[in-house]
Structure 1
Amino acid sequence: MKISDHESNMQIIKDVSSNFTSTFCGDMFSFALGLMLLHATGMSISFGLSMIIMPIVTLVGLVPIGNLVDTYKHKQILMISLAIRIIALFIYAVTIERFVGTGKLIPTVIFLIINYASVNVSNSGYMASVHELVNTGHIQKLNSLSQSAASFASTFSPIVAAALYVLVGFEWFVIFQLFAHVIALLILSTMHFHYSKSIQPESTIIKESQFGKFKVGINYLMSHHFLRYLISVALFLNFIFAVTNVGLPFIVVQHLHLGNVTLGLLNSADALGMLIGNLIISVSPELRRLARILAVTMVTMAIGISGVGFLLLVNPSKLLVQSAGSLMLFAVGLSLAFMNTPFGIYMQKTVPAEIMGRVSSTEMSLNMMSIPLGTVFYSFIFQRFPNGMVFVLSGVVMVSFTLLTMPKFIHMQMPDQDGVVEESRQ
C-alpha cells in the first residue's frame, strides 16, 4: 500500500513532536543527573559517566540489536523499548535516594546501561522504519525536521536545565523525563507503520545463528563502495571534531581565559548553524548531487575549523572571538547539517529494509567508538600544544582527506524516487 502525501505529513508532525519532547527533556535530565552526581560524589567523572558507558553498551549490543530490529515488527520493538525505558527510570527514581555519596553511582550505572541499550534499539528501529512511516518523497523532510527539532532542543535545554535545577532540584527532572517518555509512547501508538510484504516469517529468520544473520549486513556494506566510503567519512569527522569538543574549552577558558560566556556563545553558534541548516534542507527541493554536496560541506567545515585556529593564535580580544569565532562555527554547524542529514537520507533510500537494522547498528557502533578515540587523541595533543595551530592542522587534514578520496565518487547522486542510485553526467 502506497503511503499518501497527507499521511506522510501527519506522520512527520507526530515524529517531530515526539523527537523534540524526548530530546529536550532527555538533555535536561542528563544535565541534572550530572549535577546531582557531582554534588553527591564530588567526582569529576559525574558528567563523563555517560560517555564511558554509551560506547561500551553500543559495542556489546552491536550484533543482537541489529538482528532484533530486522527480525520483528518495528512498531512493537519501539514501543517495548520505550516502555522498558519508562520502567527503568521509575525504578531508578524510587531507589536513588536510598543511596548516599559515591553509592549513588551504583544505581546510576545500572540505569544508564539499561537506558542506552534501549536507546540503541530505538535508534536502529527508527532508522529501519522510515520507509514504513512516510513515502520516499518525504524522507528528506522527515530527516531534516527531526534533526532540526533535536538541534533546537540541544541548544536551549542546558540553559533551561541550569535555571530550573536551582529552583526545583533533581526529582522534578525525573518527572519531566517520565512525562516525556509517556508522551512519546502515546504518540508512537497512534503512528501507522506500513510493513513490507517481503518480510520473512520469524520462524525462518530465528533458525539462523546471530552472527550468521548479522554477517548479511556486513557483507552488504563491504559490497557497497560508496556507502562504505560515507561511513568512513563519518568516522573520520567524528574523530576530527573532537578538536572542538576538547580544544575549545581548553583554549578559550583555560589557556586564553576568555570565560564561560565566550565558550557558551561559540557552542551555541555551532548548534544554531545545525538548526538553520536542517530547516533549509526541510524546505529545499530534493537533494540530488550528494557527493558534490558532501565535498563542499567538508571543505567549508575545514575552513571554519582552521579559521578558528588562526583566530586563537593571534591573542584576540574577547569580543573578536565571540563575534568572528561564532560566525565561523555557525558555518561549521550549517555545513554539518548538510553532511549528516543527506547521509541518513541516502542510507534510508539505498539500504534494503530487511537489513537496515544490521547496517544502521553497525554504522552507529563504529561512529560511537570513534568519538572517545578522538577525545583521547586531542586531549593528549592539547596538553602538549595548547594553541590554535592544532585547529589549523586539523582543517588541513580535512581538506587533504576530501581532495584525496572524494574525486572517485564525485558523480554519485541521491537515489531517485524508486531507490535507483544514479551518477551525474555533467
Structure 2
Amino acid sequence: MEESLKLKKATYHLYTFMISKLISTFGSQVYAFAISFYILQLTGSATSFATNLLCNILPRTLAAPFAGAITDRYSRKMIVIVSQIATTLAITGLLIYTLTSGLSLIAIYTTTSILSLTSMFSGIAFTSSITGLIDQPRIQKATAMNQMAISFAAIGSPAVGGLLYGTVSIPVFLIIFILASLIAVILESTMNFRLFAVINKIEEQKETMWQSMKAGIRYLRVQSTILVILWISLLINFFFGAFEVGYSYILIENLKMQSQHFGFTQGAFSLGMLLMSVYFSARKEVKFPLLVSKRGIVGLGAVIGSIALPLLLPMGYWTMFSYYLVLMFCFGILIITVNTPLHVMFQKTIDDEYKGRVFSIVETMSMALTPLGMVIYGVLYDIFPAQWVLLLSAAMLIITTLGMMRTSIIRKVHPKWKEKQVVHPVKAGTVAR
C-alpha cells in the first residue's frame, strides 16, 4: 500500500516537475526576449547586448562549484524554492525600479546576474533530485519530459514575446514573469524531494565547503565512465562553437537568407527536439545509453559538416531553405538523442550525495569552454573560408568521439552489449560493431 502511494506521488512529481519547468522556463525566455530587444532598441549597440550575455554566463561559471557543494550539503527542496523566490524578488525589484526611475542598463545587468545565479542553483538542485522525486523505471521519462518543457518554451516564447513586445510595455512583461515565477514556487512547494532518495548528510555536515568540493573532485576522478562522458561533453561544447558562430554567419552573411526564413530553420530545430523528447518519454529506457549517444554525436558531426554543403555546391534559394529546414530538424532530434540517454545514465550511476557537485562541475566546465569556443571560431571564420572551418571541426568531432568512445569503452560500460554481440556468432556471421 505504501509503495502504491509512493508511485502515485512520483506520478504527481513527474507532471508537476514538467509544468513547473515549463512555466519558469517560458517566463524567463519571454523576459530574455523582451530585454534583448529593449537593449538593442535603446542603445543599438552589440557591445551592450554582449554585456548582458556576459552577465548571464560569468556568474554561473564562477559560482557553479559552490552551488554543487551547497546542493549536496543542504535541503535541495529548500534551495529550489529559495532560488525561485529570489527570482521573483529580483524581477519585482526591477519592476519597482522601472516604475519609479525608468529602466536602465545597470538595472538590467544586475537583474540578469541575479537571475543567472538563481536559475543555476535551481537547475542543479532539481537535476540532482530527479532520483529522489521519481521512481527508477521512469527516470528516462522524467528526463525526456524535462526536455519537452524546454523545447515547448523554445518554440513558443519567441512567438509570444514578439506578440507581446509590440502590444504591451516592459512592466507588463515583468508582471507576467513574476506571476509565472510565483506559480512555479507554489508547485515546487508541494513536492517531496526525498521520496526515493537515500542520502547520508551527516558526514557532509562535518566537512568545510572547500573539503566538500575536493571530495566531489576525488569522487569524479575514480568514476572512469563519467569522466569519459564529461570530456566528450566538453569537446562537444567546444566544437559547437563552429556551429553557433558559423550557422548564423553562413546563412545570413554568405547565403543572404531572409531573417524570417532563418527563424523558420530555428523553429525546425526546436520542433525536432520536441518530437524526440516525446518519443523518449513514451518508449522504454535505452539499454545502452553510451552507445546511443556515441551514434548521436557522430550524427551531430555529420550535420555540422553538412551545413557547409551549399557553399560547395550552389543551390537555388528555396532548395537551400528546404535543405537547412530538414538539416536543423535532424539536428534537434540528434541533440535529444545524445542528451537524454546520458542524463539518465548520470542519474543512475552518480551517488545521490555527490550529484550536486558532479553536475556543478559539468556546468562549470561546459560554460567555461563555450565562450572560449565562440571566441576561437569567431577568429577562424574571419581568417579562413567558412566551409573548411566547418568540415574540419566536424571531422575532428567525429574522430575524437570514435576514439574516446571506442568499442572497448562501450563494452566496459555495457557488458550486456558485449554478450549480445557474441551470443550467436555462427548465426550472425560477424560480430556487430
TM-score relative to the length of structure 2: 0.91
Query: How much does 1:107 deviate?
Result: 1.5
* Counterpart in the other structure of 2:16: 14
Question: 1:280 & 1:50 partners in 2: Cα distance?
Answer: 36
* Counterpart in the other structure of 1:276: 275
Contact 2:60–2:364 (CA<8 Å) still a contact in 1?
yes
Q: Deviations over 1:6-45 (max 9, x none)?
A: 3222211111111111111211100101111222233213
Query: How much does 1:422 deviate?
Result: 6.4
Contact 1:27–1:157 (CA<8 Å) still a contact in 2?
yes
Contact 1:37–1:104 (CA<8 Å) still a contact in 2?
no
Q: 1:156 to 1:232 in 2, by over 3 A?
A: same
* Counterpart in the other structure of 1:394: 393
Question: 2:26 & 2:418 partners in 1: Cα distance?
Answer: 40
* Counterpart in the other structure of 1:215: 214
Contact 1:305–1:328 (CA<8 Å) still a contact in 2?
no
Question: For residues 47-58 of structure 1, what are the structure 2 equivalents within 5 Å?
Answer: 47-58=49-60
The answer as to 2:223 corresponding to 1:224 is yes
* Counterpart in the other structure of 2:244: 245
* Counterpart in the other structure of 1:199: 200
Q: 1:246 to 1:366 in 2, by over 3 A?
A: same
The answer as to 2:83 corresponding to 1:91 is no
How many residue pairs match? The answer is 416
Question: 1:324 & 1:198 partners in 2: Cα distance?
Answer: 50
Question: 1:129 & 1:108 partners in 2: Cα distance?
Answer: 31
Question: 2:269 & 2:88 partners in 1: Cα distance?
Answer: 32
Query: How much does 1:159 deviate?
Result: 2.1
- Where 1:241 maps in the other structure, the secondary structure is helix
Identity of aligned residues (%): 25
Query: How much does 1:388 deviate?
Result: 2.4
- Where 1:193 maps in the other structure, the secondary structure is coil
Query: How much does 1:423 deviate?
Result: 6.0
Question: 1:243 & 1:107 partners in 2: Cα distance?
Answer: 33
* Counterpart in the other structure of 2:424: none
Question: 2:247 & 2:67 partners in 1: Cα distance?
Answer: 35
The answer as to 2:356 corresponding to 1:363 is no
Contact 2:232–2:404 (CA<8 Å) still a contact in 1?
no
Q: 1:381 to 1:160 in 2, by over 3 A?
A: same
Question: 1:206 & 1:226 partners in 2: Cα distance?
Answer: 28
Q: 1:211 to 1:422 in 2, by over 3 A?
A: farther
Question: 2:413 & 2:289 partners in 1: Cα distance?
Answer: 5
- Where 1:48 maps in the other structure, the secondary structure is helix
Q: 1:11 to 1:412 in 2, by over 3 A?
A: farther
The answer as to 2:46 corresponding to 1:44 is yes
CA RMSD of aligned residues (A): 2.0
Question: 1:422 & 1:59 partners in 2: Cα distance?
Answer: 38
The answer as to 2:339 corresponding to 1:337 is no
Question: 1:200 & 1:389 partners in 2: Cα distance?
Answer: 52
- Where 1:10 maps in the other structure, the secondary structure is helix
Comparing 171-180 and 4-13, the one that deviates more: 4-13
- Where 1:141 maps in the other structure, the secondary structure is helix
* Counterpart in the other structure of 2:348: 349
Q: Deviations over 1:285-331 (max 9, x none)?
A: 11111221122111211111212211233232221121112212211
* Counterpart in the other structure of 1:417: none
Unmatched tracts of structure 2, length 5 or more: 422-433
Query: How much does 1:208 deviate?
Result: 2.1
Question: 1:152 & 1:412 partners in 2: Cα distance?
Answer: 37
* Counterpart in the other structure of 2:431: none
Question: 1:321 & 1:197 partners in 2: Cα distance?
Answer: 53
Question: For residues 265-304 of structure 1, what are the structure 2 equivalents within 5 Å?
Answer: 265-304=264-303
Question: 2:214 & 2:249 partners in 1: Cα distance?
Answer: 42
Q: 1:178 to 1:354 in 2, by over 3 A?
A: same
Q: 1:60 to 1:302 in 2, by over 3 A?
A: closer
- Where 1:286 maps in the other structure, the secondary structure is coil
Unmatched tracts of structure 1, length 5 or more: 415-420
- Where 2:257 maps in the other structure, the secondary structure is coil
Contact 1:55–1:365 (CA<8 Å) still a contact in 2?
no
Q: Which amino acid aligns with 2:143?
A: N
* Counterpart in the other structure of 2:141: 141
Runs of 4+ in 1 over 3 A off after TM superposition: 1-5, 96-100, 195-198, 204-207, 421-424
* Counterpart in the other structure of 1:418: none
* Counterpart in the other structure of 1:309: 308
Question: 1:424 & 1:45 partners in 2: Cα distance?
Answer: 53
Question: 2:51 & 2:153 partners in 1: Cα distance?
Answer: 21
Comparing 381-390 and 337-346, the one that deviates more: 381-390
* Counterpart in the other structure of 2:427: none
* Counterpart in the other structure of 1:256: 255
Contact 1:291–1:412 (CA<8 Å) still a contact in 2?
no
Q: 1:413 to 1:11 in 2, by over 3 A?
A: farther
Comparing 348-357 and 316-325, the one that deviates more: 316-325
Comparing 182-191 and 260-269, the one that deviates more: 260-269
Question: For residues 399-414 of structure 1, what are the structure 2 equivalents within 5 Å?
Answer: 399-407=398-406, 408-411=408-411
* Counterpart in the other structure of 2:430: none
Query: How much does 1:135 deviate?
Result: 0.6
TM-score relative to the length of structure 1: 0.92
